[in-house]
Structure 1
Amino acid sequence: MTTPTTTTMAAKTIAITGGARGIGYQTAKELIRRGHRVAIGDVDETRAKEAADELGVTVVTRLDVTDPDSFRAFLDMVEKQLGPLDVLINNAGIMPTGHAHEEDDAVTRRQVEINVLGVIFGTKLALQRMLPRRTGHIINTASLAGELAVPGLATYCGTKFAVIGFTEAARQEYRKSGVQLSTVRPTFTNTELVSGTAGAKGLRNAEPQEIARATADLIERPRPFVRVTRFAGGMVAAMKFVPGRVAAGLGSALGTDSVFLDDVDMGARQAYLDRIRNN
């Protein structure tokens, strides 16, 4: 169980999707450490309950973010047991790898449903609760792959580009409402999502604790977005001003044109792929 610590910010009621593992789990842990009231939902009910026991979370349930009724029930539970929703973190997401033309249609659909529709459904449901109160914060977990395309992740990149575009449009739409909307844009992070991959040459993956801290800081000091790590984020921002031929050459030098294609250890990745297909 995580031991809470006090912060200068008043405790908030925070709901996290995909909270059973990885970035979602570490974000819950960090927010509890800072004294907030946290609820987690995850499609893997067994692991979600285990995570809740480890974290000392009392509000936990199976959540299918692709089902608006499931999402609505989750938020109803949160508000009934913890009070009005202050922050929703739309964290749930999946990342299969491979050549686009070989990707099974069911896998393509699953990515779009979880990574895009789940975020849109959650954002809408949270807005419906927050707008009448003129306060609240919705944080959507995107990716630096939503700004810079990566071979082997075509559908995933497309979904994260969509998350960034949707959130930015909604942020501008509701900029005078009192409700904040933000994106967290991690580099590749050492969770199950990157199992069986080696990462780019000379660039380290982030740790989920880093993303958790950045998300918690974003709640305390709202901004439109935050990139993590600082170095990877700066590199992605700079690449937007680099000619395409130079960018392609740099990608080859770093190995990013093969790290999610020919260089993937599918045996090491199989357990993750089985889980995301079966849940």
Structure 2
Amino acid sequence: MQQLDGAAVGIDRLQALALVNHGHFTTMRVDGGRVRGLSRHLERLVRDCRTVFDAELDVDAVRGFVRAAIADEDESVVVRVTVFDPALGLQRPGGDAAPRVLVSPRGVAPSADAPLRLRTTRYQRDLPAVKHTGLFGALHERRRAQRAGFDDAVFVDATGRLSEGPTWNLGFVDGGRLVWPEADALPGVTMSLLSEAHDGLVTRRPVSASDLPGMEAAFATNAGGGVRAVAAIDDVTWDPAHPAIGLLRDAYASIAGEPLIEAPRILPA
């Protein structure tokens, strides 16, 4: 059940989020009360709350809000946690903030295993290091790509470097190395977890269109879908069944989730 600060919420309480759209969020998958990278999702919320609102966020309260919102949900559920302040309007967004926490659960979608065909587009999100609610530009580029016959867009910055997709990070495999494009992009939770779980070298370096033919494989990552193969970027293609993709999926699946309910602290006698 969608809840605001742990209580049921009507549509009237969400008008500011819909009309002003000033806030930030994280999306996580909960399986049996556990979340891969939970501490990193919470760290993101705290960091982004300081950036967007100059305010601190109570992570213990956020944990409690998530638990309350998914109490009647299935064993596995995708949860979006959005932080916003309905009192900050269009005219005075610079006021002192008192951020609220909206928790929106949804069912886990069927596995999206179909490889992605991507079209490059010149675009960069505002404040790319923040997972904010300003999605118009990113979704507009996704729509344009889909209308042109592709599955999604992948962003290219002003210097020609590939950065990220609208709602996912982009990665490559090159000579057994895991390569993340060096560019202004969201530091993804799944991206960081996969980097640690990967049994091999991990590097960040600039990747331009001219580098694509030399890559062995390409993939997209986010918390909802894990690792998804990329079959093509523009006219450069890869084998979506490349063994490296399977190894990355296995590595991600091996990551243990963190419990939403912390273990009780046992004090020394």
Fold shared by both chains (TM-score > 0.5) = no
Which structure has more strand as a fraction of its residues? Answer: 2
> Which of the pair has more CA radius of gyration?
2
Q: RCO higher in 1 or 2 (8 Å CA, sep ≥ 6)?
A: 2
TM-score (norm 1): 0.29
